[in-house]
């Protein structure tokens, strides 16, 4: 082979696949049946972990679509606790989220954290401001399309008569994909939505972000479009967690993992926007017919929720939960967490009495 042509003149002149074909590990092809079964188990785990949308607090922000660039203290509380004297945070001597000593607490925390999204920015646009926003999002994809079309035209001019039909098919598919991205502002994500809602909800991936826009009836009868985003990486980790919970071999879902992350991420954004919609549409800026950008924060804490659930399991006599609570209470710095859980119980009881 001409290794200089394949690998370049400044590299080691060998092709790893050719030279080490007899010793390189081969990934066994996973039967389709196993892939489908694994995917269904992950979906079952996701459905079992699903919780009602949390209460949300909305305040104005100058940010743009995407997760807020602040420390996500919700996910860190079990590992970092504030000293009672108010000094700097120090690592707690226990970290249930990462420790194999606390499997029940770990699973509960994962469940509540998945249901409680990180604080994020949501936009509410008019038809006009949404068009401008999406034009900006599409701009780099339009530039990419123009480049691909220019390359295809150059290739066609050079090889118009030399019989490279197969090559031109590839170029055509390449341009078609770039055209779709230019129209969408990224890669469209197929979602299973209730009948009649498809034309009101758009979900797509733009770079490392999963984005969702939802068309809503505004307070003045005109359409408003709410948009939010979430990092793909977060939802890849979510799928891997469900893989572990369901005792699924990760290799069986490796091919479908990106799409499953997209669908789970897109589904969570649909739920979050729907939950925030009433408060978003009630904003004075929206009522005045102006675009609004707000920081949306869940008024809940997955760490406290996990401890509350753990204590409820203890009351029901669950031996595993009793064992973990005993260990946790013996750890220095755990008092604040259990005090917050107790306060949560008191507030829930007060709320029940008020509704009665």
For 239-263, the pLDDT digits (tens) are: 888 888 888 888 887 878 888 899 9
Q: Give the pLDDT confidence score for residue 80 in this predicted structure.
A: 28
Closest by CA position to 190, among listed 263, 134, 261: 263
E strand or H helix at 80, and its extent? strand 80-81
Instruction: Compute the average pLDDT of residues 215-238.
Output: 91
Percent of the chain with pLDDT over 70: 74
Contact 255, 248 (CB under 8 A): no
What six digits make up the tokens of 23? Answer: 């010793």
DSSP string, 124-177: EE-HHHHHHHHHHHHHHHHHHHHHHHHHHHHHHHHSTTTT-HHHHHHHHHHHHH
Q: Is 279 helix (H, G, I), strand (E, B) or coil?
A: helix
Query: How are beta strands 90-91 and 223-231 bridged, if at all?
Result: unpaired
Q: How many Cα atoms within 13 Å fall on the side-chain side of residue 149?
A: 10
What six digits make up the tokens of 344? Answer: 């949560």
pLDDT at 200 over 60: yes
Instruction: Compute the average pLDDT of residues 198-219.
Output: 92
Q: What is the largest CA-CA distance in the chain?
A: 83
For residue 344, give every residue at least 6 positions away whose Cβ sits within 8 Å of its Cβ, in sequence order, or none: 304, 305, 308
Residue 218 CA to residue 130 CA, distance in Å, equals 14
pLDDT at 213 over 90: yes
Residue 273 CA to residue 228 CA, distance in Å, equals 7
- CA torsion, ordered 298, 301, 305, 308, to nearest 10 deg: -130
DSSP 9: T
Q: Give the pLDDT confidence score for residue 28 in this predicted structure.
A: 56
Q: How many residues does the chain have?
A: 356
Instruction: Compute the average pLDDT of residues 144-162.
Output: 75
Q: What are phi and psi of 338, to 5 degrees?
A: -70, -30
Q: How many Cα atoms within 13 Å fall on the side-chain side of residue 52?
A: 4
Contact 133, 125 (CB under 8 A): yes
What six digits make up the tokens of 214? Answer: 């939802």
pTM: 0.68
Q: Give the pLDDT confidence score for residue 314 in this predicted structure.
A: 93
Q: Which spans in 282-334 are helix H?
A: 284-287, 302-315, 319-329
Closest by CA position to 49, among listed 311, 316, 337, 302: 302
Contact 324, 314 (CB under 8 A): no
Contact 266, 189 (CB under 8 A): yes
Lowest-pLDDT choice from 13-27, 33-47, 280-294: 13-27
Instruction: Compute the average pLDDT of residues 334-352.
Output: 82
- Look over the chain and give the mean of its residue pLDDT values, rounded to a whole number: 76
pLDDT in tens, 105-126: 888 887 777 667 778 888 999 9
Confidence at 94, pLDDT banded by 50, 70, 90: very low
Q: How many Cα atoms within 13 Å fall on the side-chain side of residue 354?
A: 6
């Amino acid at each position: 082979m001409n290794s200089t042509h394949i690998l370049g003149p400044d590299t080691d002149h060998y092709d790893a696949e050719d030279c080490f074909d007899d010793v390189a590990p081969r990934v066994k092809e996973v039967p389709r049946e196993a892939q489908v079964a694994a995917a269904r188990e992950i979906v079952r785990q996701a459905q079992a972990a699903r919780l009602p949308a949390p209460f949300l607090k909305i305040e104005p922000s100058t940010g743009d679509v995407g997760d807020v660039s602040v420390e996500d203290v919700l996910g860190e509380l079990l590992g970092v606790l504030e000293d009672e004297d108010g000094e700097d945070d120090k690592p707690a001597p226990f970290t249930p989220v990462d420790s194999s000593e606390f499997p029940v607490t770990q699973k509960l925390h994962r469940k509540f954290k998945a249901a409680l999204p990180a604080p994020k920015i949501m936009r509410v646009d008019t038809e006009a401001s949404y068009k401008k926003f999406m034009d900006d999002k599409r701009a780099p994809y339009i530039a990419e399309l123009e480049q691909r079309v220019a390359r295809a035209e150059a290739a066609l001019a050079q090889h118009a008569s030399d019989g490279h039909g197969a090559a031109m098919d590839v170029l055509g598919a390449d341009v078609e994909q770039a055209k779709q991205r230019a129209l969408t502002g990224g890669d469209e994500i197929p979602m299973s939505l209730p009948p009649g809602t498809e034309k009101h909800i758009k979900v797509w991936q733009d770079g490392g972000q999963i984005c969702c826009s939802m068309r809503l009836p505004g307070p003045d009868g005109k359409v408003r479009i709410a948009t939010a985003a979430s990092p793909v990486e977060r939802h890849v980790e979510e799928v891997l967690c469900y893989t572990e919970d369901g005792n699924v071999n990760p290799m069986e879902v490796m091919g479908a993992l990106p799409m499953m992350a997209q669908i789970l991420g897109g589904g969570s954004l649909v739920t979050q926007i729907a939950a925030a919609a009433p408060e978003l549409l009630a904003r004075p800026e929206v009522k005045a017919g102006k675009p609004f950008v707000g920081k949306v924060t869940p008024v809940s804490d997955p760490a406290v929720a996990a401890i509350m659930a753990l204590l409820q399991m203890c009351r029901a006599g669950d031996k595993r939960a009793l064992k973990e609570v005993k260990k946790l209470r013996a750890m220095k710095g755990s008092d604040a967490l259990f005090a917050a859980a107790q306060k949560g119980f008191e507030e829930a009881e007060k709320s029940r009495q008020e509704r009665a």
